[in-house]
Structures are given as structure tokens and as C-alpha cells.
Amino acid sequence: MKQTLQLKLGQQLTMTPQLQQAIRLLQLSTLELQAEIQEALESNPMLEVVEDGAAEGAPPAAGESGAESGVDEDGTAVAEDASERAADSPSEDMPNDLPVDSDWEDTYENYTPVTRGAQDNNDFSDFEQPASQGESLQDHLQWQLNLTPFSDTDRIIATALIDAIDDDGYFTSSCEEIHQSLQDELDIELDEVEAVLNRVQDFDPPGVAARSLQESMLLQLRYYDADTPWLAEARQIVDEHFNLLAKRDFHTLKRRMKLPESGLQQVIQLIQTLNPRPGGQIASTPPEYIIPDVFVKKVKGQWRVELNPDIAPKIAINSLYAGMAKQNGSKDAAFLKNSLQEARWFLKSLRSRNETLLKVSNCIVERQRGFFEYGEEAMKPMVMHDIAEVVEMHESTISRVTTKKYMHTPRGIFELKYFFSSHVGTANGGECSATAIRAILKKLIAAENPGKPLSDNKLAQLLGEQGINVARRTVAKYREAMSIAPSNERKRLT
């Protein structure tokens, strides 16, 4: 084979580490960004937190004079030029007495003297604190098990039963399975397992450890006072006519129970006070709160978008370490120079992230002005390509910047992706967004006659009268997305 040389011209996009870092920061949520900044502060000595009040060496606050440093609009402080100036200034003399890293109290911080009173208070702590914050349902049931007199055998059976109860409070296994799993360890009969299950069903919350919704409702009705009006009829309906109740066949229920419509309505209201998810009363996980990334508010008739200044700490480059990095004679000059370069890129990536987020948010507010003025029914159809054209970015960038980012508005907190929706054609040749159609459907269903709820076909006809052409199956899809039951399940006595 003959060896030859060929010259080719081509273009290639190289993902530099700095570009990869900027893209990664762009798609992080608020909590993930805070964790990323904290990790950068711990790993890079050049970065430091700038406290409000202008600590020594910190850049001047926004609005103050100063050519060397400042605070960007996104709240990220930069002090690169100030660090260069600090390199030329002579360092202060090192004092003779340096503060040590730990004190006597820090060395023995885990030692706590226990007094007699504290011992007395902790003797029965496991029995006197039934429901601490964040307690799971199993912990709550286990605490009651420890207070209930059980034999050793029954206690093992009860523990196995409690382990088979889900977060909603239902017994998801069967007595036969529990009996088989314990048969090698204990010499017990199936009747003993069922007897222990009946005792566990007396635990709090009422209705727990039931094998079905019907059984849970019957267990909850046990706790009502015997003088409660319509209690006997409610127990009879749940016990004997549960299928008719589930189908909302009130006409047949009135005939079977021989009740007037007003009496049946009272019975149904009593049944509706029962909890279909008894285990939900015990919180197993702490609530998670949403921190908005941007704020939208109306100022002098104009909608303004501002970044949340509290979502990330204000960080800057440490001027002392930056000056040390410029002293070539320093032993760790190479390490400090690399750290300084990484810190600068990190601050630049943060600044780029906030600028992109602010730019996209402004564009969304501008296009969805009708939503902020009049609500969901005025939402316009919009896709990511529309925003990408305006801000001159790729659709993938818009997707990253709108994922897990939230906007605080006078109408509530919404994810940025909420403002994107498909469209449906109208009779006059226009377009209507899917979000607006869902809002109209919710309004129509809220105003319907409870005794004769609107069917999906009727809802499609009503939308057609407003010039919105949608099929019945499309209405059903939107209704199910809003977790609204079909017409036969929405029917109730008036």
C-alpha cells in the first residue's frame, strides 16, 4: 500500500471543562446549586463567603463607588482586580499569639454531664413521646405495641403484621402468608394470627391494618358515639351495600334502605367524614418546601422579573490568597494559581447561569402577560422553540434552564415549564393552549349540577360552543390529568 498525506478542513466543537461546568450549573436546581457552591467553598481556598456589611477585603456593596470590585446583578460578588492590588501591598507582621484551631470545650464537646433530674426524665422517654416529628406509621404502631400487654408469641406476630402495613395504613399481606412465614419459628395456628390482627386494628389511627377500604370504614365507624345520628344506617350501607355506594347508585340505595332522599343525604355525609387513607395522618417524611428562583411582581403597571438574592450565598475570591498566588517564590504558587483560575471560572459560570435564567424568565413573562393579568384561561400556547428564537439560544439550553426552576408570581409558585403547552385550533382559525382548556374545563365542572354532572361528550360540546374544537377523548385526557373523576363518580345528592 502506498502511503500518502491528505489535508482536510473541518469544524469541530470541543467541550472544554469550563463549558461543561457552565452547562452543569445551568441545569441544577436551587438546592443542588447551594450544595455545589458549598462544595466549591470547601475544596477551593480561593473562594470565600462575602457577608453583608463589607468584611475586610470584601468588595464594596452595590451602589458604592469602587473600580476594582463590585456586585453583579445576580448577587455574585467578584473581587479579582482587588486581589491583584492586594498582591502588591506588603503583608502585615504575623502576631506572636496565634489562635489555636480548637478549644477545651471543642475537644470534649460530646461530653455532657447527666444530672439526676435528666436521668429521671429519660427513664420512660420511649413511652411518653408517642408521636415525634417525622415519625413513620410503623414507628407509631410499634410504640403502641410496646404499651399493649402481649405474650412473647403474640408480640412477634404483631411485629410481622405491622411490617406488612403500607404508608396508607392498609394490611397489604394476608394472615395465611404471615402464618407461613412464622411457622418455622413459632408453633401457632392461623386463628392466632387473625386474633392478633384484630387487636392491631384497635390501634391508632382508627381504621389502620384493614385489608380493604370497606373494612377500614367499618373499623372507623366503631369509634363513633352510639348516639350519633344515622350511625346504624351508615354501618349497614358500608357493610351490605358497599358496591352500590361505590357506584353512587343513590336511587337503588334509597329503595333498599327505605330512606327518604334527605335521610340518605345525611347518611352519605356521615360516611364522607371517614378517612380513606388512615395512615396518612402520620407523617412519614418531612415536607419539602419550594424555593423560588425568580420573583415576578407588578411595579407601576409593568411586570418586573428579579432573581431571588437568597438562593445562593455571595461568594468572592479571597484577596490575600490571590496575592500569594502571584508571588512566584511561594512554595505553593502553582497550586494557588490553579485554584485562582478555577475560582474565576466558577464565578463566571454562576454569573452566566443567572443571566440566562433572568433572560429566559423575562421572555416568558413577556409572552404570557395575559396569564399574569387574567389567569389560566388567558394562557397562550408556547413551546421552547419560541423562547429559543427570542433569546438566541438552543432549545436544549432552554430545557435545562426551565427544569426544576420556579417562579414566584402573584398567582402562586409555578415551575418555568408550566408556561409551555401545546395548542388546539379554534373555530376562527386561532389557537388555544392546553392550559387554558384545562382551566375552562375545571370552571365548567365546578359550576355543574351535582345531581346531573356533565359528561365528557357534553363538555366537548360546551367547548365547541366557545369556538374550541376538541374531541371527547381529548376532554377525558385533560380531565384525568387534573385528577377529576368521571361524571358517574361525581354524582351526589342535592
**pLDDT per residue over 223-242, tens digit each?**
999 899 999 999 999 999 99
Residue 376 inside a domain? The answer is: no
| 394 and 457 housed in the same domain | no
| Sheet strands (E) in 52-148 | 70-71, 77-78
Do 201 and 262 sit in the same domain of this protein? yes
Which comes out higher in pLDDT, residue 103 or 468? 468
Helices assigned H by DSSP within 384-455: 384-391, 395-402, 434-446
The CA distance from 237 to 223, in Å, is: 17
pLDDT of residue 128: 43
Could you tell me the residue range of the domain that residue 159 belongs to? 134-285
* H-run or E-run covering 257: helix 250-257
Q: Is the pLDDT of residue 110 over 90?
A: no
| pLDDT(92) > 60 | no
Chain mean position to CA 180: 40
pLDDT(407) > 90: yes
HSE-CB at 87 with a 13 A cutoff on CA atoms is: 20
Report whether 204 contacts 144 (CB < 8 A): yes
Examine the pLDDT at 197 and tell me if it is beyond 50.
yes
Using alpha carbons, list the distances in angstroms from residue 160 to 165, 177, 297, 336, 362. Answer: 9, 10, 55, 59, 56
| Cell 432549545, located at residue | 395
Q: Cell digits for 210?
A: 384493614
| 260 and 316 both lie in a single domain | no
pLDDT, one tens digit per residue, over 434-462 is 888 889 999 999 898 888 889 999 999 99
Helix (H) or strand (E) holding 297, with range, is: strand 294-299
Report how many domains make up the chain: 4
**3-class DSSP state of 298:** strand
Is residue 207 in a domain?
A: yes
| Least confident window among 116-130, 149-163, 313-327 | 116-130
- Report the distance separating Cα 41 and Cα 350, nearest Å: 13
pLDDT of residue 389: 92
Among 55-59, 127-131, 313-317, the range of highest mean pLDDT: 313-317
Average pLDDT over residues 180-199: 91
Residues 300-316 have a mean pLDDT of 88
Whether 455 maps to a domain, the answer reads yes
* Mean pLDDT score, 135-146: 91
CA 282 to chain centre: 19
User: Considering the domain boundaries, does residue 479 fall inside one?
Assistant: yes
In DSSP notation, 450-461 reads: TTBPPPHHHHHH
User: Are 321 and 355 within one domain?
Assistant: no
Asked whether residue 331 falls in the same domain as residue 261, the answer is no
Q: In what order do the strands lie in the sheet with 412-415?
A: 302-307, 294-299, 406-409, 412-415
Residue 61: pLDDT band with limits 50, 70, 90: very low
Helix (H, G, I), strand (E, B) or coil at 424: strand
Buried b (16+ CB within 10 A) or exposed e, 350-372: bbbbbebbbbbbbbbbebbeebb
What is the DSSP secondary structure assignment for residue 61, as one 8-state letter? P
37: in domain: yes
Average pLDDT over residues 419-437: 79
Contact between 372 and 365 under an 8 Å Cβ cutoff? The reply is: yes
Please report whether residue 378 resides in a domain.
Answer: no
Quick check: is 326 in a domain? yes
pLDDT of residue 346: 92
Mean pLDDT of the chain: 80
Contact residues for 16 (Cβ-Cβ < 8 A; gap 6+): none
Could you tell me if residue 159 is inside a domain? yes
pTM, two decimals, is 0.64
CA 279/CA 207 separation, integer angstroms = 8
Q: Is the domain of 402 the same as that of 429?
A: no
- pLDDT confidence bin for 193, thresholds 50/70/90: very high
In a shared domain, residues 154 and 206: yes
CA 280 to chain centre: 17
The reply to whether 442 and 412 lie within a common domain is: no
Residue from 85, 95, 83, 10 nearest 47 by CA: 83
At residue 494, the pLDDT reads 61
Helix-helix angle 261-271:250-257, to 10 degrees = 110
- Model confidence over 336-364: pLDDT tens digits? 888 889 999 999 999 999 999 999 999 99
Q: Are 433 and 482 in the same domain?
A: yes
Count of helices and strands (H, E) across the chain: 24, 10
Residues 429 and 333 in one domain: no
| Same-domain pairing of 302 and 401 | yes
> Do residues 186 and 316 share a domain?
no
In this prediction, residue 452 carries a pLDDT of 86
- Looking at residue 147, its pLDDT comes to 93
Q: Which of 363, 397, 416 is the last residue of a domain?
A: 416
**Backbone conformation region of residue 413, classed left if phi is above 0, alpha if psi is from -120 to 50, else beta:** beta
Cα(330)–Cα(127) distance, rounded to whole angstroms? 63
- Rounded to 5 degrees, what angle do the CA atoms 230, 231, 235 make? 120
Distance of CA 333 to the CA centre of its chain: 45
Residues 56, 3: Cα–Cα separation, whole Å:
67
